[in-house]
Amino acid sequence: MAGTRHAAITGWGMAMPDRILTNADLAEMVETSDEWIVSRTGIRERRIAGTQDTTTSLSVGAARQALDRAGITADEIDLIIVGTCTPDQFLVSQACLVQAELGGTAGAFDLGAACSGFVYALATGSQFVQTGLHNRVLVIGVDTLTRFVDYTDRTTCVLFGDGAGAVVLEATDEERGLLSTVLGADGAGNKHLYIPGWGAFVPESAELFPEYRPYLQMNGNEVFRFAVRVMGDAAAEAVEQAGLSFADVDMLIPHQANLRIIDAAARRLDLPRDKVWVNVDRYGNTSAASVPIALCEAEAAGKLAEGDNLVFVAFGGGLSWAAGVVRWGTEGVCRDPACRSRRGR
């Protein structure tokens, strides 16, 4: 609605590690094959953080691109939110580590919702802008989950990759940015996808420690069933909540975990393949980074136009899910430095 305050996406960026791990590489490490991985997941290769890559370095790379594109500097940002489940350290927050590199004194905090983390963080950041508390928020989705992948476990090691994506949100009176928000979780399903032993919890008996090795654990079949259900339902709910019909959707930007899950979500919204952004083949599941990376690539391919309705949808550990309709474009955002005062309107 024009006249109401909205949070337009005015900048976007992504950063990927250089190192590529192909299905053929994995077939030399575990009992698997390119044919199995492609037919069950759609993944052909993924990027793996090297020793020079950190959650911080990837975040900063994506954030710098997003700030440049928005034409602002880090000290013009009011708030930094990082959606991640693989921060470089627990104390301090990943957001403060990013700020140390970027500069500025914006508020900074992390948000943990696993692979749904970016969409949760986008919803949170948008609220700060929509309420008028802040004018500009930097939202980052980043993960280096391969640090926690067991490369002797073929059921998980073929799925994940690393990366980062970021967006800048800025205030506008035009109907831009997030138009609807669907957030959900089923905490009872927490053991279907988790990393044990990487937190303050310590088992009572020392003998239990081997069980708490810090490798990602997953019940693939349960997660698959859950994902097919919630991706479609959450996306459909987000469209309805925005007062739109499926025919109004210009592009689905889904979490890239498995091509079969993406296809199921697209079917639920009755969308043809050319309205669904897919890059899972090249990056695998980059967790919280996957939606903003997909957004950046869709934009770079010239697929997004001012006023387009995009549907973001993600699922992940928690179990959690998140979706929203984003009206693309920067209409109404004040580009004049004079109205870029630090806080408030």
Find the part of the chain contacting ligand COA (CB under 6 A) among 84-92, 105-113, 162-170, 222-230.
222-230
Q: Judge whether 285 counts as a catalytic residue.
A: yes
Which of 74, 54, 71, 78 is CA-nearest to residue 164? 54
Asked if 193 contacts 257 with a C-beta cutoff of 8 angstroms, the reply is: no
316 binds ligand COA (CB under 6 A): yes
36 lines the binding site for ligand COA (CB under 6 A): yes
The β-bridge relationship of strands 320-327 and 79-83 is unpaired
Where does this chain touch ligand COA (CB under 6 A) — which range of 33-41, 76-84, 131-139, 237-245?
A: 33-41
3-state secondary structure of 320: strand
279 binds ligand COA (CB under 6 A): no
Interface residue with ligand COA among 5, 19, 64, 154 (CB under 6 A) is 154
Q: Is 289 an interacting residue with respect to ligand COA (CB under 6 A)? A: no
* Contact between 291 and ligand COA per CB under 6 A: no
DSSP string, 157-168: HTTB--EEEEEE
Bridge-based pairing of strands 45-47 and 79-83 is unpaired
* 255 labelled catalytic: yes
Size of the site for ligand COA (CB under 6 A): 21
Radius of gyration over alpha carbons of the chain, in Å? Answer: 19
Give the separation between CA 141 and CA 119, rounded to whole angstroms. 8
Tokens of 8: 């337009």
- Of the candidates 157, 192, 255, 258, the residue annotated as catalytic is 255
- Among 115, 157, 258, 296, the one annotated catalytic: 115
115 is catalytic: yes
Question: Any idea what the Cα angle at residue 244 is, between residues 239 and 250, rounded to 5°?
Answer: 75
Window of 32-40, 66-74, 264-272, 295-303 that interacts with ligand COA by CB under 6 A: 32-40
Q: Does 41 bind ligand COA (CB under 6 A)?
A: yes
Give yes or no for residue 10 binding ligand COA (CB under 6 A).
Answer: no
Nearer to ligand COA, 29 or 300 (CB): 29
- SS3 assignment, position 113: coil
Q: Single out the residue of 244, 240, 257, 327 nearest to residue 294, CA to CA.
A: 257
CB of 295 to ligand COA, least distance (A): 18
285 three-state secondary structure: strand
- Interface ranges with ligand COA (CB under 6 A): 32, 36-37, 40-41, 115, 154-155, 158-159, 193, 218, 220-221, 223-224, 227, 257-258, 285, 316
